[in-house]
Amino acid sequence: MYKHQLPKQIMNFNLKEYVGILTGGGPAPGLNATIQAFVYAAFEKNIGVLGFHDGYRGLLDNNFSLLVPEALDPNRTHISSINGINVIGVTRIIDQPGSILRNSRTNLMKIEGGIEKAKQNLENLGLKALVCLGGDDTLSVAYELHKNGVNVVGAPKTIDNDVMGTDYCFGFDTAINAVAKFIRDLMWDARSTNGVFVVEAMGRRAGWIALEGGAAGGAHAILIPELYRAKVEDKELYPELAEYREIEFNVDSVVEIIRRRINRGKNYTVICVAEGYTDEILENIIEQEAKDIERDEFGHIRLDKLGVGKIVADYIAEKLNIRTRAVQVGYLSRSSSTSAFDAYMSINYGIHLIKLILEGKYGKMVAMEHSRFVDKDLSVAVGKIRYVEPWRFKNVSKFWSWTLTG
């Protein structure tokens, strides 16, 4: 058993049982709002909450804190620990980006005995259930825990917005607002300096941020992974990508857009590219550059180290004999203050998560579908990637015609 006893009373709450919560993968605005709402909703039902630090790593190491509505004793004095366990108050963290629990990309399935040890630690603590907030990697581990008998529920967190089964992942709205603002601001520099900028946004496999943030920011062209992945993905698994195979748009298409702009006296251009972009023209260069880059426990390379934006910028510079500059905005987009939409959605996710636990609906995740909060099987989130539909790209690309581009 755990060496410190979990308290049965905190403030004026008599706690009948405990649940755990963790945040995996990268940070995303909305994590803290979900945590705050979940803790409030749990305490309302007299359920205590343990927050595991550093994702699944904290679960393995029994590294956790007590999460409470306010870190106060009955005399309204701030406290830092109870029964030797660290205490964190979750008041007023709704708009804070990042995660008060910290994140990591620990993969229990890649650690020998990882699933079994995590399960044993949860049993030793006597937790009723575990909440996992993360993208498809985090949720795939949650699903594996569920298959091994752990009471797990989850919520889709990723600014990439690429988790199946939900219309939105929290963090995405904040990210596209940040990218759009950055591009709008950068446009003035580009106009003043006759600059050609390539803005690299996050999006390992899907181009949601680049497309929506780039379009809202007024980018003159956008490159997203779907343009190429549609040609290499299993056609039976991804029939929704079929129309992309008919779209001939790549880095050379961007070169032509810039050339036409220069011929019209428009010597500035801002391009937005997803960090996971590649095409037949660049794939050998990208593959060579990626060869020696480290990978995380889920097998993903560090795309910030790869720098697809710079690769695209260098290619354009060579083709047109012009100066280009690449700018990465990934960390900026996930570090902005949580948008109202993300905060509202996350609050509802947190409330819905405790409802799933109380109803014993394990192996489920909260999702947003047609503006309603519903639950879906975790298996839905880990089966495939939610790509940007072709019609979205086609609609946005209409603005890149030389007759329409500013």
Q: Tens digits of per-residue pLDDT, 57-96?
A: 999 999 999 999 986 655 556 778 888 899 999 999 999 9
What CATH number does the domain located at 173-333+388-400 have? 3.40.50.460
Considering the entire predicted model, what is its pTM?
0.92
Is residue 307 within 8 A of residue 200, CB to CB? The reply is yes
Beta carbons within 8 Å of 234's beta carbon, 6+ residues apart: none
Q: Residues of CATH 3.40.50.460 domain(s) within the chain?
A: 173-333+388-400
Q: Where are the beta strands (DSSP E) in 3-143?
A: 9-10, 13-14, 17-23, 47-52, 64-68, 81-82, 85-89, 130-134
pLDDT bin (cut points 50, 70, 90) of residue 353 is: very high
- The answer to whether residue 402 scores a pLDDT higher than 60 is no
| 287, HSE (Cβ side, Cα atoms, 13 Å) | 6
Task: Tell me what pLDDT residue 72 has.
Answer: 61
Is pLDDT at 28 greater than 70 in this prediction? yes
The type of residue at 312 is: V
Between these two residues, 44 and 295, which has the higher pLDDT value? 44
Q: Does the annotation mark 160 as catalytic?
A: yes
User: Which residue did the predictor score with more confidence, 398 or 38?
Assistant: 38
Q: The domain 9-169+337-369: what is its CATH number?
A: 3.40.50.450
Cβ proximity of 334 and 160 under 8 Å: no
Residue 78 burial by Cβ neighbours in a 10 Å radius (0-12, 13-18, 19+): exposed
Helices of type H across 22-158:
31-44, 56-61, 114-125, 136-147
CA 210 to chain centre: 14
Asked if pLDDT for residue 207 goes beyond 80, the answer is: yes
Q: Is 259 helix (H, G, I), strand (E, B) or coil?
A: helix
Buried b (16+ CB within 10 A) or exposed e, 6-19: bbeebeebebebbb
Q: What is the mean pLDDT of the chain?
A: 92
Chain region(s) in the chain for CATH 3.40.50.450: 9-169+337-369
pLDDT of residue 1: 47
pLDDT score of 301 more than 80: no
Residue type at 355? K
234's tokens: 């299993």
pLDDT in tens, 313-322: 999 999 999 9
CA angle 386, 243, 198 (to 5 degrees): 70
The predicted structure's pLDDT at residue 10: 86
Task: Output the CA torsion sign for 60, 101, 329, 202.
Answer: positive
- Of 54, 136, 137, 160, which is the active-site residue? 160
Q: Tokens 């990210």 map to which residue?
A: 175
Helix, strand, coil shares of the chain, percent, nearest 5, are: 40, 20, 40
> What confidence category does residue 283 fall into, taking pLDDT thresholds of 50, 70 and 90?
confident
